[in-house]
A and B are shown apart, each in its own frame.
Chain A
């Protein structure tokens, strides 16, 4: 295991990300709501760059108390989307939201002073 430099904390604004090539591994490092998350950049579907697509919140069907459909809205859960085919992952867990039993490999992120590192 080694620590791979990602960015200065001050450079990586909230909502921003970096893709780190750490040896033979590609890792996406996200800064979201004050926390850092790091996942394998290889999509579980067909191997696309899972961490390099759009970041978008989950979509929710609004179902009324009488169980009728009332429309849609964005929820509070943030997803990152593989740009090849649209597989969506929960940014906080790395779970594939269509089947949460499937997860991207997660990596530890450490801060040393103003420097951010990913452990891989």
Chain B
């Protein structure tokens, strides 16, 4: 046996670096030639609570602004929160590690942090969403949701999107206040980097409420995307029966989008807003395939329940857009292939990472699928998103 020189390093948790954490992702990027084509992440996150001191200053109402600033972003006080072990009792080390991170120099720490992981994964453009504010829909005071949405959206547009062309967003819609939602689209629809508007799904105001029609019409007229970003609400009466996070999370992220999708279709909203681009985010894929079959089966017997429909529910659903993550990986890949076929993945599916959350996906989850050809992979990884968001298709990433 010979004894070649080995490179040896210890493992410690006293420092944290995203490029180091994602070193294997960068290796995957090179191995798959991601530098040659566009990759767009349609669902990624930052931790806006780390910037609450800045965000709260944008709250217009002085009473609420004082209340927010006084709360200092504590878990109790001005804003609501949710129980849930996202870091798996410390098993996901980047949640704590990010506090030790020294990101690249940039106009804002969030820009540097975001570009660091984007380049490591081989991502050219990322659609950035908040994290704790995904639960803001459950705030008991609609005025607070509206005030925080406006403050956050202004902060995001001025401090992040204005300075970094590789970061875009679908802005938070304060859906519990339909008038505020409409004003949000009016105020921010033309801002740099705004590619659409996002409804956080765990909420109880139905999507077919007449109060929302003017907002849908305005988004449709602007050519922007309306997205429904899934999340759980452990306080929901059904989910409150779950005693473990895995259950509340797995069901919750499908449940609310299933309800909203069903209401969206059976109330004929695709007929009323035929050009509105609707996207369903972070529910995985199997829910859509299951719901298509379920609704089609019932619809053929109960057409009088949904007289606006001129086609089967699945046909409308097949014209909507879906993000991939958290993409189910059945042992039998023919099941996944059938799901892709049912949702017309080649034109309707868009890759998403959900990074830095605990169940993020890499581009290889799509690139390595055996049943996709190169064109299909590239469409899902970025081509379709580029058309939808009107992005330049030239790759701009710098894989470390």
**A54 vs B96: C-alpha distance in the bound complex, in angstroms?**
12
**Chain A neighbourhood of B89, CB < 8 A:** 56
User: Which residue of A has the minimal Cβ distance to B28?
Assistant: A47
Contact B11 A46 (CB under 8 A): no
Kindly identify, within residues 72 to 120 of chain A, every residue whose CB is under 8 Å from any CB belonging to chain B.
Answer: 81, 83-86, 88, 117-119
A-B pairs under 8 A by CB, number:
85
* Chain B window 60-91, contacts with chain A (Cβ cutoff 8 Å), 1 for yes, 0 for no: 00000000000000000000000000001111
Kindly identify, within residues 23 to 73 of chain A, every residue whose CB is under 8 Å from any CB belonging to chain B.
Answer: 23, 28, 42, 46-49, 51-54, 56
Q: How far is the CB of B116 from chain A (nearest CB, A)?
A: 15
A2 in complex: contacting residue of B2, B21, B24, CB < 8 Å: B2
Q: How far is the CB of B7 from chain A (nearest CB, A)?
A: 4
Contact A18 B24 (CB under 8 A): no
Given contacts A2-B2, A18-B9, A21-B6, contact A53 B93 (CB under 8 A): yes
* Chain B window 1-22, contacts with chain A (Cβ cutoff 8 Å), 1 for yes, 0 for no: 1111111111101000000010
Given contacts A20-B7, A47-B24, contact A54 B2 (CB under 8 A): no
User: Which residue of B has the minimal Cβ distance to A79?
Assistant: B91
**A51 vs B9: C-alpha distance in the bound complex, in angstroms?**
12
* Chain A window 1-24, contacts with chain B (Cβ cutoff 8 Å), 1 for yes, 0 for no: 111111100000000111111110
Asked whether B296 is an interface residue with its Cβ less than 8 Å from the other chain, the reply is no
**A88 vs B364: C-alpha distance in the bound complex, in angstroms?**
21
**A2 vs B2: C-alpha distance in the bound complex, in angstroms?**
6
Asked whether B360 is an interface residue with its Cβ less than 8 Å from the other chain, the reply is yes
User: Which residue of B has the minimal Cβ distance to A69?
Assistant: B243
Contact A3 B3 (CB under 8 A): yes
Asked whether B37 is an interface residue with its Cβ less than 8 Å from the other chain, the reply is no
**Chain A neighbourhood of B23, CB < 8 A:** 49
**A85 vs B91: C-alpha distance in the bound complex, in angstroms?**
8
Given contacts A42-B24, A47-B364, A85-B358, contact A6 B93 (CB under 8 A): no
Asked whether B94 is an interface residue with its Cβ less than 8 Å from the other chain, the reply is yes
List, sorted by A's number, 12 A–B pairs whose CB atoms are closer than 8 Å: A3-B3, A17-B11, A18-B8, A20-B7, A22-B6, A54-B91, A56-B89, A84-B21, A85-B92, A85-B360, A86-B91, A119-B1
* Extra inter-chain contacts (4) besides given A47-B24, A47-B364, CB under 8 Å: A16-B10, A18-B11, A85-B92, A86-B358
What are the 7 A-B residue pairs with the smallest beta carbon separation, nearest first? A4-B6, A21-B7, A83-B93, A86-B91, A81-B91, A86-B88, A47-B24
Interface residues of chain B, those whose CB is within 8 Å of chain A, are 1-11, 13, 21, 23-25, 27-28, 88-94, 358-362, 364-365
